[in-house]
Amino acid sequence: MLKLLALSLGLLPSATLAQSLWQAQGARVETVAYTCSTAMDDLSVAYFTAPDATSFAAVQIAGVVHAMVQEVSGSGVRFVDTDAQSGYRLHSKGDQVLLLKQEPGGATEEQLLAECRARKD
63-118 pLDDT per residue, tens: 889 999 998 888 888 999 998 888 899 998 888 899 999 887 767 888 888 888 99
**Are the C-beta atoms of residues 93 and 75 closer than 8 Å to each other?**
yes
**Predicted confidence (pLDDT) at residue 120 exceeds the cutoff of 70:** yes
Host H or E run for residue 2: helix 2-14
**Predicted confidence (pLDDT) at residue 7 exceeds the cutoff of 80:** no
Domain spans of the chain, in order of start: 2-118
What CATH homologous superfamily does 2-118 map to? C-type lysozyme inhibitor (2.40.128.200)
Closest alpha carbon to 106 in 61, 71, 64, 63? 71
